[in-house]
Structure 1
Amino acid sequence: MHDIRAIRENPEMFDAALTRRGGAAMASALLELDAERRARIAAAEAAQAEQNRASKDVAAAKGRGDEAGFQRLRDLVAEKKADVARMQAEAALLDGRLRDLLLTIPNLPLDSVPDGAGEEDNVELRRWGAPRDFGFRPVEHFQIAGVSRGLDFETAAKLSGSRFMLLRGGLARLHRALAQFMIDLHITRHGLEETWTPVMVLEEMMTGTGQLPKFGEDSYQTRDGYWLIPTAEVTLTNTVHGDLVDHASLPRRMVAHSQCFRSEAGSAGRDTTGMLRQHQFEKVEMVSITDAGTGLAEHERMTRCAEAVLEALDLPYRTVVLCTGDMGFSARITHDIEVWLPGQGRYREISSVSYCGDFQARRMNARYRPEGGGKPEFVHALNGSGLAVGRALIAVVENGQQEDGSVDLPAALHPYLGGATRLGADGALV
């Protein structure tokens, strides 16, 4: 959420940044509402002061036996008290309207973020690895014999409808091994704290990280009001919700493996074949909570953590910085890491690593006290996939596929598979 004081100080800068994101100028409407709110607050304070003075005069009139003055002043106190209550209620209503409006406005991009309307305007930062020369035409994951034997969309559809998957046998174990490998890598090499979190949260937690109120249709809500998390970003970031954290504890670097749930309301007709886009999936999520001065350095560090997973799995990838029109709602800058999928013949996103500044912290009221004392400041938050497990599974099997329908598996996974090095064409690990 944005600081209305910063908008007051530089409305032109605020509107220019929103325009870069493809949005409309909002400063004028926000400041008009803010001015009306502040006027009601000032009027309420003036009426309160008049009420306080009249209350003192009431006591004085009573003390000197002035019955007429006492009654008049008592009526004035009652009148001012009613005025104060009315103006305070009006101010609270305007304050709520202002907050509700601020909650719908996306974060402002850093100056370094490239301008653009969509993914075609994203800028490549680097590449790692070279796509393999297969010597035959590679196919998509669901067309590989050894994979298709363990990928049961028909039963999943019977159980839950479209965009769900059921994994069996060697493929299910490979999926589990990938998640375990990622978690272990982040804990042992990158120093992240393993965390296990709920997958159902209160509405204020979804609001805190920016999924609500604007994107409620993209998530699932239970009948009793809980929300299913679209990513463990929600739970990990909100661990500091409402807290004044010790600066010495920063940065807090966390990682969680969780189920994730997304309605995919805005993706009708996209990636409907295979398991690339599902309503329920697993992800290893990284979150860092930092102070104001180290957020950007932490963003680079977190990007490298995600890239390291792909390098350990020997999967070619490229890293891009998203343009202003392609960034997520809460981000100030985002790096997308795209893995090479030979079946599609192109790079596809497998991780988004975002620096959000204090945008989410303002929504969560999460602060820290600077070293040496001073006024508390909002923490800065970052999040990133490390990685999406299902998409990593797709990448592993497509890049390791053999002409006979088997799949050679990355050496890093062999210890997690009981020493197996290959997914056979029959779907068994060997």
Structure 2
Amino acid sequence: MSKFLFAAMPIQGHISPGLPIAKRLVEDGHEVMWYSTSKYKGKIEATGARFAHVQSAKDLDDSRYEDWFPERSKFQGVNQMKFDLKHIFFGEMPAYAADIAKLLKEFPADVVVIDAAFTGMLPLKLTGKAPKIAAYGVFPLTLSSRDTAPFGLGIQPNASAVGRIRNKLLNVLVENVMFADVQKHANKLLSDMHAPKLPYSALTAPALTTDLVLQGTSPSFEYPRSDMPSIVRFVGPYLPAKPTGFSPPPWWDEMKDRTVVHVTQGTIANQDFGQLLIPTIQALAEEDVLVVATTGGRPVSDVDIPLPNNVRLESFVPHHELLPHVDAIVTNGGYGGVQQAIYYGVPIVTAGKTEDKPEVCARVEWSGVGINLKTDRPTKEKILHAIKQVINEPQYKRNVTRLSKEFRLMDAIENTVKELEKLVVSK
């Protein structure tokens, strides 16, 4: 049997897809260790993997980033992405690398499994001190291409002759101007560690410096690229495990024979419910629909408005249980939540501008499974109009049903484990 060391950014959306992978590897008899923060110790140990606590790195809690980085809230959109790259992702790179170098002496892994944003393996890879590395994708592919605009802009792909000129110019602009300070920051950190400069842009380097990229979706929910790297495999969407012991809330049966709209701002970009959750509730107040709103784990009392009679508000409801009853979802565009909606054939209205959300929203539009409102603060009127469109215009249901069938034919965990086992024995 083989040894696998997992190391992902300590963020729920980055950790969660890896948990069932680790669990399956343990069940198949492999040795698995997972390096992470104390917040995720219980979930990691529940897979059967050995937990390795961060030592040099910060013991971050992704629900309290503003406590660790109070200035983060001053930035929005691309500027917040740049802040995160500098201070959260690359800022912790030297400490992650130091910890993992020590772990690999204790636990000589055959393969290190990371999420596609984890920077801790870069110094080891660039100095020739890393074993084989596989990355699982927890957001849309960041890889630059002649056929696509740069990641982060939320611009549709264009592989025509004119489109490729546009893409080339935009890629140069993003890498050499917009994100030049991020690249410089990362290279300074690498230089201080006596490691070479990044061979790729800061956005793509964590994935492209691996031996295998396991993209957690189907090809129909990712832009086609004629220059796709050979290390990329599409394995299917990484969906969370179905919950056990779910007790439906008292209103559950009200969803029968009703049009149901679900609204959520996810678990990270939900500090301000005035962005999407509250406007959606207000937009649907006079409509003949049942609105199921969730606060992503925050107290429901944080939604400080009088609730219309057609609203049912909960802190959390498992999507596996809820989405089969839903006719449309309004979301700020988290990659995992959007793919769960597609899996259950639910048309989508998206409105997100932070993290990877502009790219997720753009793919919702491109694949035809929903409407991208292209803002994180849509008006009530725009929300209502979009909801009526995805419910009443048949192409959205038709497209999401087609993609749902594709998702259901792909077993992401099975496909991932097979690829990891092949990587172990590859030369």
User: Do both share a fold (TM > 0.5)?
Assistant: no
Higher gyration radius (CA): 1
More relative contact order in 1 or in 2 (CA 8 Å, sep 6+)?
1
What TM-score do you get using the length of structure 2 for normalisation? 0.23
What TM-score do you get using the length of structure 1 for normalisation? 0.23
